[in-house]
Structure 1
């Protein structure tokens, strides 16, 4: 082992070079350029603001968000919260935001499920299944989304009327008025049971985390399913029973020229959901396929050498490793699906874009209306990115 002593002069921090107020000093040049660029950006923003204010004053156009408290007079066919044309513009825009979230959340779940299945099918050893999945991916990705939305909407509008509605299952009717489904006669007990289920999910997550921590300490696995069964099924059932155990179901019935009762999925929402789901699923399928192929083939061989079935290897070994490759590009697809939902205006679905456009046409508050649309999509996109980045950090490999 070398005993060579280190020269103490090499341990000293070199003295900092003082800034010279001359253009030859690169640090002075960097500061000057940064100040100039920031000043130019501020100047452009100031000019745009002043120019906009001047043009609005010349045309006597009111500014501000005071119009939000005025009566909207805007009919909205689908709304998750109580709404009438006598409601304010603020409530109308809130309905639009909820309609957008209804498409985005359900679409993300369905597109992820369908895309994962198709991506796995493309790697199947069954030649026919693999080719069908490949044709689906190539066909869906090569046709513009707007054309697909118009295609599905045309198909749904071409269905027979309510009197000749398709009835594939008892209580389910499909017509040009939409899809009618039986639904619970929702009461307070159902709301409390739903809250109990959400609380049970959170408690199950905490319990599973505590059990894994104990397993890491003593090496003894502990079953989680008994506690999960009690928290996810038993607790909601107890709350539901204490609330009177209501079981009434609202069945759709044909009365006159349309159905009454049950739950209605409008043709506009149905077409938008199908189009967004099938289109995004084609891209997710390729992401899933690439993620699985990124896992070394030796993982498959080692697992099969232990006698594990292919389905078990895929579910327990390959997919958990592939997630580290899948999650980052999957985030982009979730954002694309959310932003592509703005095409709903083409088929008449009243999302935030449609309602905001009608609002700005009625009030003349174009800048405020566009700002509201931008703020809504920015908030939703940042929320999705934050959640996916958090999840990606949870599954990332930790280097020692």
Structure 2
């Protein structure tokens, strides 16, 4: 009697297991050959170098770091924090700028539409490395701290960007809580409907008024730490180094052009019948965009925007060309100090894989949550 044919799912699982086994054996063979070659040249393999003291000081460490005392692993951690800092700033700023450019491309105003189109085509067709180098050159050409004048409490100098920041004042917490509670109450009222519903402008103004109320009742102005020039230094406030400012500005201007085209295409992908139906119902333009068009457009735009955001995480490694010490720059320093080229590259590759896959998983969850409403 002939043996029964295996189900298709078992054949598929067996084929996948065979492929993974072959790939695993190939990697093991490559690592074994590489390790033997390195040992023949007197280079020890392994990750023990991570616990050794770092030999080179860090210029942009986000926390206290002492060369000769702290380990190479802590140095790489500092670089990872810097990479995530760049990525977070660029993702937020590029999203806001891209939204403005995308809506500008759909404007009825020819001048605004043409200006946005000109900017997008000019910026996105130039390599990002040129943008980074140009922004860094412009930052270094800014006036020195003694020659610059504060603008709204900010100082823009060739030593970096200095911003006023709130001080450690408990009243700030009360102010923020008041604004959040007021905003949530107004949003709940608007969702339930009724005779009066706050528009976006009114909601924003009432939230700001609620945040200002604790300061008015206390008879004090908001406490801020303002940058002050003291000799060759600038004290107070939040400071961004010239390298960090240049990489953030360059990646923001570059990434926003791609996000703008994604947003424009997503809005235009909404069927024309949706617009005509809302016109037939005589709905206000703001309600149409907020409740009908944008919820459908974001479901189309989100997968492509996720790819751009992951590209931002990877493009942050280009900060090494202007001397900002993110994880790739610090990894290169550790490599030259220890000679562990394969291990350092493996750590860098593992970091970007973990961060990119983690961010991709988060965006997939958001996408699934938004898509659930269509079912």
- Retained in 2: the 8 A contact 1:181–1:262? yes
Gaps of 5+ in 2: 200-204
User: Aligned residue for 2:154?
Assistant: 172
The structural deviation recorded for 1:224 is 11
User: Aligned residue for 1:12?
Assistant: none
Relative distance call for 1:232 and 1:181 in structure 2 (3 A) is closer
Gaps of 5+ in 1: 1-15, 21-25
In structure 1, C-alpha distance between the alignment counterparts of 2:128 and 2:22, rounded to whole Å:
39
- Retained in 1: the 8 A contact 2:39–2:45? no
In structure 2, C-alpha distance between the alignment counterparts of 1:246 and 1:361, rounded to whole Å:
52
2:324 is paired with a residue whose SS is: coil
- Retained in 2: the 8 A contact 1:252–1:260? yes
After superposition, what is the alpha-carbon deviation per residue over 1:25-54, rounded to whole angstroms, capped at 9, x for unaligned?
x99999997787555434422321210120
Relative distance call for 1:295 and 1:253 in structure 2 (3 A) is same
- Retained in 2: the 8 A contact 1:201–1:232? no
User: Aligned residue for 1:18?
Assistant: 4
After superposition, what is the alpha-carbon deviation per residue over 1:204-224, rounded to whole angstroms, capped at 9, x for unaligned?
99xx89x98xx7xxx999999
- Indicate which of 272, 276, 284 corresponds to 2:251: 276
- Indicate which of 319, 325, 334 corresponds to 1:344: 319
Give the length in aligned residue pairs: 366
If the length of structure 1 is used for normalisation, what is the TM-score?
0.78
1:396 is paired with a residue whose SS is: helix
After superposition, what is the alpha-carbon deviation per residue over 1:168-212, rounded to whole angstroms, capped at 9, x for unaligned?
51432111111112223447x59x949x979x989x99xx89x98
- Indicate which of 336, 339, 345 corresponds to 1:370: 345
After superposition, what is the alpha-carbon deviation per residue over 1:151-183, rounded to whole angstroms, capped at 9, x for unaligned?
100111111212212x25143211111111222
User: Aligned residue for 1:3?
Assistant: none
The structural deviation recorded for 1:348 is 1.0
The structural deviation recorded for 1:141 is 1.1
User: Aligned residue for 2:146?
Assistant: 163
User: Aligned residue for 1:7?
Assistant: none
In structure 1, C-alpha distance between the alignment counterparts of 2:360 and 2:255, rounded to whole Å:
17
1:59 aligns with 2:45: no
User: Aligned residue for 1:140?
Assistant: 123
User: Aligned residue for 2:202?
Assistant: none
User: Aligned residue for 2:93?
Assistant: 110
User: Aligned residue for 1:391?
Assistant: 366
After superposition, what is the alpha-carbon deviation per residue over 1:262-312, rounded to whole angstroms, capped at 9, x for unaligned?
221111111111111111110111110111011112222222333333333
Decide which moves more: 41-50 or 357-366: 41-50
In structure 2, C-alpha distance between the alignment counterparts of 1:35 and 1:307, rounded to whole Å:
59
In the TM superposition, what are the counterparts of 1:75-154 in structure 2 within 5 Å? Answer: 75-85=57-67, 86-154=69-137
In structure 2, C-alpha distance between the alignment counterparts of 1:28 and 1:382, rounded to whole Å:
28
Relative distance call for 1:132 and 1:396 in structure 2 (3 A) is same
Relative distance call for 1:221 and 1:65 in structure 2 (3 A) is farther
Higher-Rg structure is 1
In structure 2, C-alpha distance between the alignment counterparts of 1:54 and 1:391, rounded to whole Å:
46
